[in-house]
């Protein structure tokens, strides 16, 4: 039996098999289980204690999966008030220490100083064509720690956008209509 479209499960870690039930009509496209499993296999040695940013949090699946697997801190950025409220409720109900919600749009968040991340999940809505400008803004924000990893998703038919200097493809794959990549930050701090 398939899970409802507004539900995803946490794959591993402290909250393994728990289900996230997000607002059904919010237009959220969560990262599929199979893709998340591959991503977190790629990241095995990089999660424990990591400072993470989930820049288009939506369901919260990527950020909460990172917390479940031992990330030290996860900032979930969500611009839609109702979805941000759902994320705050989930953090409180599950007692997700280290989880924090910022209700703000991604570009504005990247202009705010004082943040530094080891891992960034960047999965904007495919139709907006925002991936390339967001990658440039992320690099310009100086929020990437030395050696940081940046995970991106895009419509596979669109192909990988041009990467700003300092970001290199480390791992890549495709699952149906979704292309996904893990980038390595080789630029300065």
Whole-structure pTM over 0.75, yes or no? yes
pLDDT digits (tens, 9 = 90+) for 1-24: 455 578 888 899 898 888 888 877
Distance from C-alpha of 107 to C-alpha of 137, rounded to nearest angstrom: 7
**CB pairs under 8 A, 24+ apart, for 125-132?**
125/27, 125/29, 125/56, 126/29, 126/154, 126/155, 126/158, 130/106, 131/161, 132/161, 132/162
The CATH number of whichever domain residue 157 belongs to comes to 3.40.50.150
Q: 1 lies in a domain? A: no
Q: Tell me, what's the pLDDT at 176?
A: 86
Compute φ and ψ for 107, nearest 5 degrees. -60, -40
Q: 16 lies in a domain? A: yes
75, pLDDT greater than 90: yes
Number of structural domains (the chain) is: 1
Q: Tell me, what's the pLDDT at 128?
A: 66
Q: 81 lies in a domain? A: yes
Q: 149 lies in a domain? A: yes
140, pLDDT greater than 70: yes
Query: What range does the domain containing 129 cover?
Result: 7-185
Tell me the two tokens of residue 171: 């791992």
Q: 2 lies in a domain? A: no
Q: Tell me, what's the pLDDT at 20?
A: 82
Q: 153 lies in a domain? A: yes
Q: 99 lies in a domain? A: yes
Q: 167 lies in a domain? A: yes
pLDDT digits (tens, 9 = 90+) for 150-189: 999 988 888 888 999 999 999 999 998 889 999 999 976 4
């Amino acid at each position: 039996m398939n899970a409802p479209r507004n539900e995803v499960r946490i794959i591993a870690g402290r909250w393994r098999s728990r289900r996230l039930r997000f607002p059904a009509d919010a237009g959220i496209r969560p990262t599929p289980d199979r893709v998340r499993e591959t991503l977190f296999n790629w990241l095995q040695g990089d999660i424990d204690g990591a400072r993470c940013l989930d820049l288009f949090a939506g369901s919260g699946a990527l950020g909460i999966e990172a917390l479940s697997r031992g990330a030290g801190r996860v900032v979930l950025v969500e611009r839609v008030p109702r979805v941000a409220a759902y994320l705050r409720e989930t953090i409180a109900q599950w007692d997700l220490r280290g989880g924090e919600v910022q209700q703000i749009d991604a570009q504005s968040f990247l202009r705010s100083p004082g943040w530094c991340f080891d891992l960034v999940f960047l999965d904007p809505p495919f139709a907006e064509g925002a991936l390339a400008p967001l990658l440039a803004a992320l690099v310009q924000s100086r929020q990437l720690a030395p050696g940081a990893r940046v995970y991106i998703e895009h419509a596979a038919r669109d192909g990988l956008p041009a990467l700003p200097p300092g970001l290199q493809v480390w791992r890549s794959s495709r699952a149906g209509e979704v292309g996904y990549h893990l980038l390595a930050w080789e630029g300065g701090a």
